[in-house]
Amino acid sequence: MRLLKLVIVDDEPILLQGLLNTYDWNSMGFQVAGQAQSGEQAIQVIKEVKPDVVLTDIRMKQITGLMVMEEIQKTDLDCLFIVLSAYRDFDYAQQACDLGAFAYLLKPIEDKKLEETMRSAYKTCIERMENEEKYESWENLLVKDHNSFLQVVIQKYVQNRILQERMEEVFKILGDIPGNEDRFITVCVDIDLTYKITNSLDYEASRFALMKHLEEVIGNRFFFWKIEGDEGNAFIIRTTDKGAVLELKRILEQIKRDGQSPVVAAISKPYKGIAGLKKAYVEARKLFEMASISGASAFTASEDVEVTEWEEPGTDVDNLIISAVRKNNLKGLKEAFVQLIYSLPNEEELQCKYLHHIMLKTEFMLQSSYGLTEEIEEKFRNYYYNLENLNAAKMVDVCYKILCDAIEERKNMSEKDTTRYFKDYISEAAAYIEEHLQDENLSIVTVAAHIYLNPVYFGRVFKNTFHMTFKKYLMQQRMEKAKKLLQEGSGSIGDICEAVGIHNPSYFSHLFKQYTGKIPSEYKKEYEV
């Protein structure tokens, strides 16, 4: 075990020696690297030793433990403080927590509580160190392979997940700022999505072969970054060649002649600068969508094509619809279909093609995730079979109903799968709650920590399982236990309050009456012989 440095502070010599000699600090992951008998001495020792954890008393003469924490916060030292306080010093403990104390322990210290706290502090420190080491590794990676790093950043930039200023900063750090002659061109290319219907087995293989061939052919002629996505792949090309667009078009035309599967592609115009990098990507993406709907094998922007301003990811109607289904969001789906109605082209033939394109993409998303049951799949099949009999207005209605059904099916499957998968976790949580009802501090956080689940996620799973919130369930269990104890005549009201973790008798009576309609004494009389 990697031992971390610990400093112990207490202005009572006897207590300090007790802390130093009584506990096996090594077994908890620490070596005592320093000690101090005053706040002033503690500040000096901490600055010299640079410990990972400081265990300090709060109430000390002249310079208190709080003052020590405040002073250390002014430095660049990064250590955890665990504070010791008597019960009467509770206000001090609250102030310590406000200053960022990791934990506080009441005197006299319980051995088990101390050990749990120290092990938790050890784990926190180790995780922080590992994260710092990872950060250093990333810095080294940035130096060794800046092109791979740059590709990741560029993908975030063109997808509007980082600002242009940050992108410029990255280019500047790497010493690779685009020059006056640099142009950016984006090529979006993929196998036509409809090919998957008639040649589903060959679709993925053809798609893989196409991308590998493009990487080789384009790479032999240009420097590029590849942006991968569900909507096809994009090659962002950086070049000073003014004839690059024509050459790229020749490359794509040759690939189409050589291949057996239909290729859909779009090429942007060349644009200057970092702003032009994004503009090229946006233009190619929009042209690619148009090419996909029309079934064109290549689509190149003419010189008079104007690109609209960059929109937030997911604002295109088809992406909004697919995103709503993916997130099982019925409200979002309804809003997306309202936008769809207003954004459809005027020609009915194009309207039908666009709707068909959306349904294809949504079905493929369902296939790659979950929710495409035999019943939903049959609805898609019936839709495709009856396409010729549907006008655009009827098609919108049919598509909306199918996707609503798909969302409902996904929601049912998600809840069932989650409940089944976490069955043992929830059983253990319920047992832990029953065993610790007397603990006034029992909460969703403590129970989630016991079964090693994130509290937010645990709360969601818990509610799906019991069909009530954790808070309501905990109160129900406490009231049911109180009812049982009152029926048995076991102890006084004060004893029952302690047993169910509600230590204030007045508050307990208020809650009990809310739950049963009677105060505890009235309820108890009903069961007296």
3-state secondary structure 224-287: EEEECCCCCEEEEEEECCCCHHHHHHHHHHHHHHHCCCCEEEEECCCEEHHHHHHHHHHHHHHH
Question: How far apart are alpha carbons 270 and 267 in whole angstroms?
Answer: 9
CA angle (24 as vertex; 22, 30 as ends), nearest 5: 125
Q: Give the strands of the sheet with 4-9, arranged side by side.
A: 30-36, 4-9, 53-57, 80-85, 103-106
H/E element holding 83?
strand 80-85
The first and second tokens of residue 72, run together, are 């250390």
* Beta pairing class for 183-191 and 233-239: antiparallel
Residues 115, 159 contacting (CB under 8 angstroms): no
CA angle (330 as vertex; 326, 331 as ends), nearest 5: 120
**Partners of residue 226 on adjacent β-strands:** 235
The pLDDT value given to residue 370? 76
Q: What is the DSSP string of 40-59?
A: HHHHHHHHHH--SEEEEES-
Q: How many CA atoms lie within 13 A of 352 on its CB side?
A: 13
Q: Is the pTM of this model over 0.85?
A: no
User: DSSP character for 390?
Assistant: -
Question: Is 4 in a helix, a strand, or coil?
Answer: strand
Question: How far apart are alpha carbons 353 and 508 in whole angstroms?
Answer: 65
Residue 450, C-beta contacts closer than 8 angstroms, at least 6 positions apart: 428, 429, 432
Give pLDDT tens digits along the chain (529 positions). 789 999 999 988 888 999 999 999 999 999 999 999 999 999 999 999 999 999 998 888 888 888 998 899 888 888 899 988 875 666 666 676 667 788 888 888 888 999 999 999 999 999 888 877 766 665 555 555 566 778 888 888 888 888 889 888 888 877 788 888 899 999 998 887 667 666 766 778 888 888 899 999 999 999 998 887 656 688 899 999 988 988 998 888 888 888 777 788 888 899 999 999 999 998 888 878 766 655 544 455 444 444 444 333 334 688 889 888 988 899 999 998 988 888 887 788 778 878 888 888 888 888 877 778 888 888 888 888 887 777 888 888 889 999 999 999 888 876 665 555 567 778 888 999 999 999 999 999 999 888 777 777 678 778 878 888 999 999 999 999 999 999 888 788 889 999 999 989 999 999 999 999 999 988 888 877 5
Taking 3-state DSSP, the helix, strand and coil percentages for the chain, each rounded to the nearest 5, stand at 65, 10, 25
Q: Match 């998957």 to its residue by tokens.
A: 196
Question: How far apart are alpha carbons 174 and 154 in whole angstroms?
Answer: 13
Question: How far apart are alpha carbons 283 and 300 in whole angstroms?
Answer: 10
The first and second tokens of residue 380, run together, are 């898609």
The pLDDT value given to residue 258? 81
The first and second tokens of residue 82, run together, are 């665990």
Question: How far apart are alpha carbons 381 and 364 in whole angstroms?
Answer: 13
Q: How many CA atoms lie within 13 A of 174 on its CB side?
A: 23
Dihedral of CA 460/503/438/485: which sign? negative
Question: How far apart are alpha carbons 362 and 51 in whole angstroms?
Answer: 55
Question: Is 30 in a helix, a strand, or coil?
Answer: strand
The pLDDT value given to residue 415? 63
* CA 332 and chain centroid, separation: 20
Residue 315, C-beta contacts closer than 8 angstroms, at least 6 positions apart: none
Q: How many CA atoms lie within 13 A of 82 on its CB side?
A: 24
Residues 290, 282 contacting (CB under 8 angstroms): no
Q: Match 């406490």 to its residue by tokens.
A: 478
> Which of these, 171, 206, 168, lies nearest to 189 by C-alpha position?
206
Question: How far apart are alpha carbons 294 and 13 in whole angstroms?
Answer: 85
Q: How many CA atoms lie within 13 A of 260 on its CB side?
A: 6
User: DSSP character for 175?
Assistant: T
Residues 10, 57 contacting (CB under 8 angstroms): yes
> Which of these, 385, 399, 391, 265, lies nearest to 324 by C-alpha position?
399
Question: How far apart are alpha carbons 355 and 419 in whole angstroms?
Answer: 35
